[in-house]
Copies of this chain bind each other. A is one copy, B any other.
């Protein structure tokens, strides 16, 4: 058996990525060694590499990963979230964060804010733990990682979204409550917005309106259930956009707004196009932005709800796997991926391709 594995090391913005060989670790209780088959490049990986997002360095980027179990600790039997016993060779997905299950936030079912959190793809290489990221041949899953065995009949790369964007979408959908018959507005037709549109469609939203500057993305999102695609252009007056949305909603305003772009204009537009009892689910604001002002009386009299979503819990992760497995033939998921896969050696090129935003995801196959 090979006793080392290659991994891409990020040492800081502007510095070249390095390919390094790391020894394979000796497993401790609860740990699993996984051979990575696919790692998709998430926008947050691009933010880390560009320096927009600060991370402790050096690190191995990548967290949207699918892999097969290489080695399990010999003594203990480990199971996935569905109670299935895990074995070498199983294709699995796992939560992008570990959690202790015992701290204040874990007990509140917010494991993503665990006091002892480790984030795959965002944690530094240390003497004890080096294989923490997805752009590598192997990853060491720590104790406290929730796992789901995957269906071998579905192409592995399609599953890369379930432990990040799709689970976050599921958390947003959970926060939204009743979807059936609703009019939903999505800001941003990236991976989050597109998957959100698909889930809304599958849960029988009546109208799904998507707003994005990118025409190609608007074309794709219409394959994922969106009924009304609106191109955001710099010269589009906010008043005209608001009028357009209100017309589509027959002047009732939107029941649900999913803010998945992080754009400031999105939130202020949302606050002018929500109907009575409307819910605004904020997912996109994961980087510093200007404050937004709101009028408390307007929120009260309109019975509005504003809810922030950041990452997800195991309920959402399970829902994501279930949604993808059940809907694999209902939406053209493979269109979200760049058709050619990149090797670890081609990571710089893969990142360049990802930055063009021509495809929602670019995949590395170590």
- The interface bits of chain A over 273-295 (1 if a CB of B lies within 8 angstroms of the residue's CB, else 0) are 00011000011111111011111
Query: What class of interface size applies to chain A in its complex with B?
Result: 35 or more
- The interface bits of chain A over 230-264 (1 if a CB of B lies within 8 angstroms of the residue's CB, else 0) are 00000000000000000000001001000100101
Q: Are B283 and A300 in contact (CB under 8 A)?
A: yes
Q: Are B277 and A300 in contact (CB under 8 A)?
A: no
A295's partner among B283, B284, B291, B307 (CB-CB below 8 A) is B291
Q: Are A297 and B303 in contact (CB under 8 A)?
A: no
Q: Are B308 and A301 in contact (CB under 8 A)?
A: yes
Q: Are A310 and B301 in contact (CB under 8 A)?
A: yes
Q: Are B301 and A296 in contact (CB under 8 A)?
A: no
Q: Are B293 and A291 in contact (CB under 8 A)?
A: yes
The answer to whether A306 has its CB under 8 Å from any CB of chain B is yes
The answer to whether A44 has its CB under 8 Å from any CB of chain B is no
Q: How far is the CA of A178 from the CA of B284 in the complex (A)?
A: 27
The answer to whether A105 has its CB under 8 Å from any CB of chain B is yes
Known A276-B110, A304-B307, A308-B303: A282·B296 in contact at CB below 8 Å: yes
A306's partner among B252, B288, B295, B299 (CB-CB below 8 A) is B299
Closest B residue to A109 by beta carbon equals: B277
Residues of B within 8 A of A289 (CB): 295-297
Residues of B within 8 A of A292 (CB): 293-296
Residues of B within 8 A of A294 (CB): 291-294
The answer to whether A108 has its CB under 8 Å from any CB of chain B is yes
Q: Are B267 and A282 in contact (CB under 8 A)?
A: no
Q: Can you pick out 27 interface pairs between chain A and chain B where the beta carbons lie within 8 Å of each other?
A: A104-B252, A108-B255, A110-B277, A175-B305, A267-B296, A282-B299, A286-B300, A289-B296, A289-B297, A291-B294, A292-B293, A292-B296, A293-B294, A296-B308, A299-B307, A299-B308, A300-B309, A301-B310, A302-B310, A303-B308, A303-B309, A303-B310, A304-B308, A305-B305, A305-B306, A305-B307, A305-B308
Q: Are B277 and A113 in contact (CB under 8 A)?
A: yes
Residues of B within 8 A of A104 (CB): 252
Q: Are A113 and B309 in contact (CB under 8 A)?
A: no
A282's partner among B283, B285, B300 (CB-CB below 8 A) is B300
Q: Are A300 and B308 in contact (CB under 8 A)?
A: yes
Report the minimum CB–CB distance from A360 to chain B (whole Å): 21
Q: How far is the CA of A105 from the CA of B287 in the complex (A)?
A: 36
